[in-house]
Structure 1
Amino acid sequence: MIKIRSRRAKSATAAGALLAGLLGGVLAGAPSATAAAADSPCSYGAYLYNKVTNPTSYKYVPYATGDGSKCWLDWGMSNTAVRALQKNLNSCYGYRLATDGDFGDLTESALISVQKKVGVRADGDYGPNTRDAMAWANYSMETGARISCN
């Protein structure tokens, strides 16, 4: 018997909802806790520049089209947004994850540990609450080297 992971089911539900919407269908049901707190999956890693507090650095964070501050990632996803999360887990929290963009068991385990450390719900799903609580690496615009994590 094969056990389907709840995160895969949630991702499949989100994909199904998107497909149903594109086909004009209707999908009934309550959104998951992650989906309720976040609008859409993070789709890419974005270079965010802070022109006010440090105009010579940037942060590389998971982002989505539209309002990127309300996106989510979870197990089974694969894209550059996952790569941005992995890079930050390595840079600011000392993990040695492959930055392959695949949200698998090791990325989930590292994220759960960080969620416990920063005091948010340790469910292994990345969303706005986790993003806001995590430290993010600042990189030099000139050299690309990591300056600090905050």
Structure 2
Amino acid sequence: MLRTVRVVAAAALTLSGLWLGAAQASAASLPSCTVAVPNLGVFFPGTSSGSTDCMLGVGNQSEAVNVLQSAMTYCNGENVAIDGVFGPATKNALIRLQSRLGVAADGVYGPQTRNAMHFMYFNGGGCR
């Protein structure tokens, strides 16, 4: 009986490690956000295929960065230039925001940050 418990526990630990490793690898392999994607009345940074599972970081320049900067400024209390360029000022503002939201404060926008942030309704009716 004790041997069975040990085998099951070892298998569970191995599988959980594999699952966590796969989740981290898949987040690192996400494409860059390039466009504004409308979803449920809100604009999100997204890809040209309509996915909002994407990333933004220093060096990105796109409509998606503009959406992120607008949301940071108007919906999340960060004062950042809305110029479509993800530079050091946007990164620092995103780190502050991520810290306040309780997500990994790495200055990179991805699904975890998206899920914690508020974004603007595209009819000008506030944020959600």
Q: Same fold (TM over 0.5)?
A: yes
Residue in structure 1 matched with residue 35 of structure 2 by the alignment? 44
* Structure 1 consecutive aligned stretches of length 4 or more whose deviation exceeds 3 Å: none
What is the rounded CA distance, in whole Å, between the counterparts of 1:46 and 1:68 in structure 2? Answer: 8
What is the rounded CA distance, in whole Å, between the counterparts of 2:49 and 2:35 in structure 1? Answer: 12
Q: How does 1:37-76 map to 2 (within 5 A)?
A: 37=27, 39-48=30-39, 50=40, 58-66=41-49, 68-76=51-59
Confirm or deny that 1:85 pairs with 2:68.
yes
Residue in structure 2 matched with residue 97 of structure 1 by the alignment? 80
Q: How does 1:12-31 map to 2 (within 5 A)?
A: none
Measured after TM superposition, the shift of residue 148 of structure 1 is 2.9
Task: Flag the structure with higher strand content.
Answer: 1
Measured after TM superposition, the shift of residue 97 of structure 1 is 1.9
On the 8 A contact 2:36/2:43 being kept in 1, the answer is yes
RMSD of Structure 2 on Structure 1 (CA): 1.8
Tell me the SS of whatever aligns to 1:68. Answer: coil
Measured after TM superposition, the shift of residue 67 of structure 1 is 5.6
Q: Which runs of 5+ in 1 are unaligned?
A: 1-32, 51-57
Task: Flag the structure with higher helix content.
Answer: 2
Confirm or deny that 1:148 pairs with 2:120.
no
Q: Which runs of 5+ in 2 are unaligned?
A: 1-23
Greater gyration radius: 2
What is the rounded CA distance, in whole Å, between the counterparts of 1:94 and 1:120 in structure 2? Answer: 16
What is the rounded CA distance, in whole Å, between the counterparts of 2:64 and 2:50 in structure 1? Answer: 14
Count of residues paired in the alignment: 104
Instruction: Tell me the percent identity.
Output: 35
Amino acid at match of 1:71: C
Measured after TM superposition, the shift of residue 87 of structure 1 is 0.6
Amino acid at match of 1:138: Y
